[in-house]
């Protein structure tokens, strides 16, 4: 039987609104989610792709005698099972507990309470797993001037309550930056609520965000609290805000202006105390000119505008980001500790259209394919090998900081010669050499190891 995949959740519920919105919210928290609307579908998915956690509603077609719970306990005894139901009864609750379920939750359940229950049995992915390293914690610094400027502004506004818009290409770390701003703010002890405006179906978006009254529309079998109310006192993160339909943009504008909103199907207004951090990979100036995004809403959301640079414009950080990814993704089963010098040459020449998310994919792939201590050129995706070319190129200070000017020779040989000269000048002093190169001691040691060099052989030969 296949092992459960890391952090994947099987969500089983026949209520479309609950199933769709909860799956989107769990995905925004870094979990992978499979969904099923019936007992039969859930059993099939578990046989094909065993999950790490099952979240099950008892009121399912084909589950009159708790068939799904019995199946999970018999076939997957090590997989935790959580019951989330809106139709509780004492007999089914007792029967469920006898089947060794992990938790028993009653609808309506607040998302933060649901997520806390999930975290108890399935550890929360690190922020770097949600959007790796590109949005490294703000207390850390980048060697890229463009990124340093962004981080400096982010630090200064974190303690204020102004709304922030974060833009950048896909994979640059917008959500991680938003989470870190929230953590450093006065709201850091309250909820951070990711809301993926592109993932929630348009027909469900309004009720998911603002909540609804019982009977407000077909399928609204009970009253439901919206996501905005669940982050009262905290931060609402509107991911892909450029995807908001125009009709909802006007309601959001009123919500921000009046600090209140009206749930679907109700007449009463609810006061809300929430900071809005938004993100998009779209050019909102273009969207405004095309009439697809309201200019007045833009001004409300973008009091501060942070633009994250793409990876190709911050190659100074490529080494450190890769080092972090190795640390996150390596397991005892992996043999590789780094890329080979030849592979590094290709990585530095690549344009990285997918940014850090693409780099993560390359590292994860390389760790899986490597047959020794190094990830070789043959282990890289074809698009990196083909896009980077095979000829010689120049080694510049932007690629390996500390290299003065341009060295018109083969990259691998140039890098090795630079390192030799660096160690000669420093007399084998790794700390001094690392400072000169703008690297950490650990980072310099790893580069030296790739080239078969040790600092010891240069000690006592300063300036030689």
Q: What is the CATH number of the domain that holds 57?
A: 3.40.50.2300
Q: Are strands 192-196 and 53-56 parallel, antiparallel or unpaired?
A: unpaired
- The SS3 of residue 36 is strand
> Distance (Å, rounded) from C-alpha 68 to C-alpha 11?
12
Give a yes or no: residue 327 inside a domain: yes
Give a yes or no: residue 272 inside a domain: yes
Structure tokens at 282: 């779209």
Instruction: Please tell me whether residues 235 and 134 are part of one structural domain.
Output: yes
Task: Confirm if 443 and 434 have CB atoms less than 8 A apart.
Answer: yes
**What is the pLDDT, as a whole number, of residue 39?**
87
Structure tokens at 160: 């204020």
Domain extent, residue 112, equals 8-124
**What is the pLDDT, as a whole number, of residue 407?**
36
Task: Confirm if 226 and 268 have CB atoms less than 8 A apart.
Answer: no
Domain boundary among 372, 390, 408: 390
Give me the helix-helix angle, 16-28 and 202-210, nearest 10°. Answer: 80
Structure tokens at 209: 């965000």
> Distance (Å, rounded) from C-alpha 135 to C-alpha 312?
15
Structure tokens at 115: 């997520």
Instruction: Please tell me whether residues 366 and 273 are part of one structural domain.
Output: no
Alpha-carbon Rg for the chain, nearest whole angstrom, is: 26
- The SS3 of residue 348 is helix
Of 144, 235, 161, 239, whose CA–CA distance to 191 is shortest?
A: 235
> Distance (Å, rounded) from C-alpha 93 to C-alpha 261?
37
Structure tokens at 400: 């390996």
**What is the pLDDT, as a whole number, of residue 89?**
60
> Distance (Å, rounded) from C-alpha 464 to C-alpha 462?
5
Query: What's the CATH number where 362 sits?
Result: 1.10.8.60
Instruction: Please tell me whether residues 52 and 80 are part of one structural domain.
Output: yes
Instruction: Please tell me whether residues 229 and 354 are part of one structural domain.
Output: no
**What is the pLDDT, as a whole number, of residue 401?**
42
Query: What's the CATH number where 295 sits?
Result: 3.40.50.300
Instruction: Please tell me whether residues 246 and 378 are part of one structural domain.
Output: no
7 Rama class: left (phi>0) / alpha (psi -120 to 50) / beta: left
Structure tokens at 119: 């975290």
Instruction: Please tell me whether residues 316 and 340 are part of one structural domain.
Output: yes
**What is the pLDDT, as a whole number, of residue 406?**
36
Instruction: Please tell me whether residues 133 and 245 are part of one structural domain.
Output: yes
Residue 98, Cβ neighbours under 10 Å: how many?
A: 11
**What is the pLDDT, as a whole number, of residue 295?**
95
Instruction: Please tell me whether residues 181 and 290 are part of one structural domain.
Output: yes
Would you report the helix, strand and coil content of the chain in percent, each value rounded to 5?
45, 15, 40
Task: Confirm if 239 and 194 have CB atoms less than 8 A apart.
Answer: yes
Structure tokens at 420: 């030799």
Give a yes or no: residue 2 inside a domain: no
Q: Domains in the chain: how many in total? A: 4
* pTM greater than the 0.95 cutoff: no
Residue 235: strand pairing partners: 192, 275
**What is the pLDDT, as a whole number, of residue 212?**
64
Instruction: Please tell me whether residues 136 and 268 are part of one structural domain.
Output: yes
Give a yes or no: residue 97 inside a domain: yes
Give a yes or no: residue 1 inside a domain: no
> Distance (Å, rounded) from C-alpha 129 to C-alpha 131?
6
pLDDT in tens, the chain (464 residues): 333 344 589 999 888 777 877 887 777 676 788 888 888 888 888 888 888 899 888 777 666 667 888 888 888 888 888 888 776 565 555 665 665 677 878 877 777 788 888 887 876 443 333 343 343 443 344 778 888 889 889 888 988 899 999 999 988 889 888 988 998 888 888 889 888 888 887 777 777 888 767 655 666 656 677 788 888 889 999 999 999 988 889 888 988 989 888 887 778 788 889 999 999 999 999 999 999 999 999 999 999 999 999 999 988 888 888 887 888 888 878 888 888 888 888 998 899 999 988 999 999 999 999 988 889 999 999 889 876 544 333 333 333 444 433 333 445 666 777 788 888 888 888 888 877 776 666 667 777 877 778 877 787 665 54
Q: How many residues belong to the chain?
A: 464
Residue that the structure tokens 């994979």 belong to: 171
> Distance (Å, rounded) from C-alpha 422 to C-alpha 424?
5
Task: Confirm if 194 and 25 have CB atoms less than 8 A apart.
Answer: yes
> Distance (Å, rounded) from C-alpha 444 to C-alpha 431?
9
> Distance (Å, rounded) from C-alpha 338 to C-alpha 317?
16
Give a yes or no: residue 3 inside a domain: no
In angstroms, how far is the first alpha carbon of the chain from the final one? 62
Domain boundary among 390, 410, 435: 390
Q: How far is CA 414 from CA 329, 396, 449, 451, in A?
A: 30, 10, 16, 11
Instruction: Please tell me whether residues 96 and 233 are part of one structural domain.
Output: no
Domain boundary among 309, 328, 349: 309
> Distance (Å, rounded) from C-alpha 210 to C-alpha 396?
52
**What is the pLDDT, as a whole number, of residue 392?**
33
> Distance (Å, rounded) from C-alpha 55 to C-alpha 2?
19
Instruction: Please tell me whether residues 107 and 226 are part of one structural domain.
Output: no
Instruction: Please tell me whether residues 350 and 425 are part of one structural domain.
Output: no
């Amino acid at each position: 039987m296949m092992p459960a995949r890391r952090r994947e959740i099987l969500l089983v519920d026949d209520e479309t609104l609950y199933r769709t919105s909860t799956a989107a919210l769990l995905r925004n928290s870094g979990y992978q989610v499979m969904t099923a609307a019936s007992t039969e579908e859930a059993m099939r998915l578990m046989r094909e792709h065993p999950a790490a956690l099952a979240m099950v509603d008892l009121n399912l077609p084909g589950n009159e005698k708790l068939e799904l719970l019995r199946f999970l306990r018999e076939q997957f005894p090590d997989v935790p099972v959580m019951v989330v139901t809106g139709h509780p009864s004492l007999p089914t609750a007792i029967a469920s507990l006898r089947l060794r379920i992990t938790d028993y939750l009653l609808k309506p359940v607040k998302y933060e309470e649901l997520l806390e229950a999930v975290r108890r049995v399935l550890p929360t992915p690190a922020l770097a797993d949600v959007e790796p390293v590109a949005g490294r914690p703000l207390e850390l610094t980048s060697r890229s001037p463009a990124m340093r400027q962004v981080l400096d502004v982010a630090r200064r506004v974190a303690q204020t309550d102004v709304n922030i818009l974060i833009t950048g290409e896909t994979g640059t770390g917008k959500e991680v930056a938003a989470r870190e701003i929230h953590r450093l703010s006065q709201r850091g002890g309250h909820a951070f609520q990711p809301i993926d405006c592109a993932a929630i179906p348009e027909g469900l978006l309004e009720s998911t965000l603002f909540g609804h009254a019982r009977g407000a529309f077909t399928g609204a079998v009970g009253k439901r609290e919206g996501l905005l109310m669940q982050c009262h006192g905290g931060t609402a993160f509107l991911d892909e805000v450029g995807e908001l339909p125009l009709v909802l943009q006007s309601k959001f504008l009123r919500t921000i202006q009046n600090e209140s909103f009206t749930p679907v199907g109700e007449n009463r207004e609810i006061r809300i105390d929430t900071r809005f951090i938004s993100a998009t990979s779209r050019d909102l100036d273009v969207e405004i000119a095309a009439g697809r995004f309201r200019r007045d809403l833009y001004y409300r959301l973008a009091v501060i505008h942070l633009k994250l640079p793409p990876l190709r414009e911050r190659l100074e950080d490529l080494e450190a980001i890769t080092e972090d990814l190795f640390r996150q993704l390596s397991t005892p089963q992996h043999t590789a500790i780094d890329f080979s010098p030849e592979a590094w040459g290709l990585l530095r020449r690549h344009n990285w259209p997918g940014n850090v998310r693409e780099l993560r994919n390359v590292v994860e792939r390389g760790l899986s394919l490597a047959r020794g201590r190094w990830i070789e050129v043959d282990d890289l995706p074809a698009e990196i090998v083909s896009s980077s070319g095979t000829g010689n190129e120049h080694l510049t200070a932007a690629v390996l900081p500390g290299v003065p000017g341009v060295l018109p020779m083969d990259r691998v040989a140039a890098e090795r010669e630079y390192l030799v000269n660096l160690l000669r000048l420093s007399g084998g002093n790794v700390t001094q050499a690392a400072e000169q190169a703008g690297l950490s001691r650990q980072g310099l040691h790893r580069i030296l190891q790739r080239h078969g060099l040790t600092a010891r052989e240069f000690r006592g030969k300063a300036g030689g």
